[in-house]
Amino acid sequence: MDKIKIVGGNRLNGTIPISGAKNAALPLMIASLLSAETLTLENVPRLRDVALLQRILSNHGVNYTLVGKRPGEDHLTGQTIHFNAGEITDLVAPYELVSQMRASFWVIGPLLARFGEAKVSLPGGCAIGTRPVDFFISGLRQLGARIEIEAGYVLAKAPEGGLVGGRVTFPKVSVGATHTIMMAATLARGETIIENAAREPEVTDLANCLKAMGARIEGAGTDTIRVTGVERLHAATHRVLPDRIETGTYAMAVAMTGGDVTLEGTSATLLQAALDVLRQTGVDVSETATGIRIRSSGGDLKAVDVTTEPFPGFPTDLQAQFMALMTRSTGVSHIRETIFENRFMHVAELARLGARIALDGDLATVEGVAQLTGAPVMATDLRASVSLVIAGLVASGETHVSRVYHLDRGFERLEEKLSRCGADIERISGEGMR
Ligand code: EPZ
């Protein structure tokens, strides 16, 4: 298995191109199931999760074709891919695929809405929590679906004539359940109202794509979304919005090492809460015409307290990265994780680098230290893995991060984007390595 080797101590200077958002590309690809006509997605990031979802969709019968590089495009430009679900041959999403990536469960919405039935494996838990699907099931039932759970699969059937619009109220904000019910509602008869909907930018991006396909949706980005069903959806072209989590991750890397980096092709509006917290630590954050400029003296970082919340609050997907940053603050930071019940697995690994972090339930207390020391560490989930990279960028000596396949799920060419700004970071291929 590949490893990432980092020698800490270099500042970061230059520019980093931000890729299309993984957490928008996935629901957008799934939306292709809603139409018999071609959906063209631009700025699709090159990620393991995207490749896995392509396999899952082709298992249903979706054809996809990659548009070749156009003049001026380099390997860091996002991909353009045509998806066509004109010939769906299989309404089953099998365990061996769904268990690898929870978002693949979301195919249940489009399959049920367009074909009247679906058999989708329960996603099962993952490293950061049990992650049930009860909101999806109760939401689809509100749209008239009959749902049973049998041998680890969700068997769903729409009434004769298809799904019927209804009122869906989520007890807790859920990004995936919002995506899924919104997609199903686009082809349901009548109006659907989704209350306590997720407000994440990726929900708005999906709604914009669905509207380009002919869906009638109002209120995306607010906590109440209204969908009026239509007969069918048609071809469209949509550009995946920039990845706010990648943006925040690299902003924190610069804050950690010191330096001056412009994050290209992204927007501060996607992550205001995280940027405000960075400013409170003493980092200079400014907006440019095409992105965000991060300047840090590399000197004292003020300790700042953070609680993760649904958008527009501080994102849970930046919690591990921020914790890495706070290990080098001049004080004590309190980080509370409210979205997932087990999202502190990076703590033990950061401690191996010399970080001082105490855990008490959903609260992590981080006491800044003057110096981190490089060591071999292990990634446990997507965002935890990148927090180890951020710590390694300032730790003295070498840090080896193993299980980097977690990194490749959500960060496109991370070591290339960092090394071009001066980081001493390289990927060591795992052939023959333990
Ligand atoms: C999405 O996951 C993201 N994944 C996650 O990013 C992100 O952390 C999460 O939203 C929260 O922002 C993608 O977009 C592919 P949820 P999702 O449903 O939709 C509970 C990453 O690193 N819940 O918003 O699966 C759930 O257990 C990933 O890119 C139920 O109880 O998350 C959690 O506590 C990690 N029942 C909370 O809601 C349900 O039916 C929020 O989960 C559904 C969710």
Phi first, then psi: give them for residue 175, nearest 5 degrees. -65, -50
Catalytic residue among 52, 126, 193, 369: 126
Ligand 1 centroid to Cα of residue 174, in Å, is 6
Query: Of the candidates 175, 180, 220, 251, which has an alpha carbon nearest to the alpha carbon of residue 16?
Result: 251
| DSSP per-residue letters across 186-236 | TTSBSEEEEES----HHHHHHHHHHHHTT-EEE-BTBSEEEEE--S-B--E
Cβ pair 310, 173 in contact under 8 A? yes
Q: Ligand 1 in contact with 148 (CB < 6 A)?
A: no
Residue whose CA is at the smallest distance from ligand 1 atom 16: 174
Question: pLDDT in tens for each of the 434 residues of the chain?
Answer: 789 999 999 999 999 999 999 999 999 999 999 999 999 999 999 999 999 999 999 999 999 999 987 787 777 789 999 999 999 999 999 999 999 999 999 999 999 999 999 999 999 767 677 778 999 999 999 999 999 999 999 999 999 999 999 999 999 999 999 999 999 999 999 999 999 999 999 999 999 999 999 999 999 999 999 999 999 999 999 999 999 999 999 999 999 999 999 999 999 999 999 999 999 999 999 999 999 999 998 889 999 999 999 999 999 999 999 999 999 999 999 999 999 988 999 999 999 999 999 999 999 999 999 999 999 999 888 899 999 999 999 999 999 999 989 999 999 999 999 999 999 999 998 765 44
Q: What is the pTM of this model?
A: 0.97
Query: CA 69: distance to chain centroid?
Result: 25
Whether residue 126 lies in the annotated active site: yes
What is the enclosing helix (H) or strand (E) of 342?
A: none
Burial of residue 115 (CB within 10 Å: 0-12, 13-18, 19+) is middle
Report the amino acid identity of residue 385: S
Pocket-testing residue among 100, 128, 174, 181, ligand 1, by greatest number of atoms within 8 A of Cβ: 174
- HSE on the CB side for 155, CA within 13 Å? 5
Region for residue 212 given its phi and psi (left: phi exceeds 0; alpha: psi -120 to 50; beta: otherwise):
alpha
53/353 Cα distance (integer angstroms): 35
Query: Of the candidates 77, 13, 48, 5, which has an alpha carbon nearest to the alpha carbon of residue 411?
Result: 48
3-state SS assignment for residue 39: strand
Pocket-testing residue among 131, 136, 342, ligand 1, by greatest number of atoms within 8 A of Cβ: 131
Spell out where 328-368 has E strands: 332-336, 356-360, 363-367
Ligand 1 atom at minimum distance from 103 CA: 15
Q: Ligand 1 in contact with 172 (CB < 6 A)?
A: yes
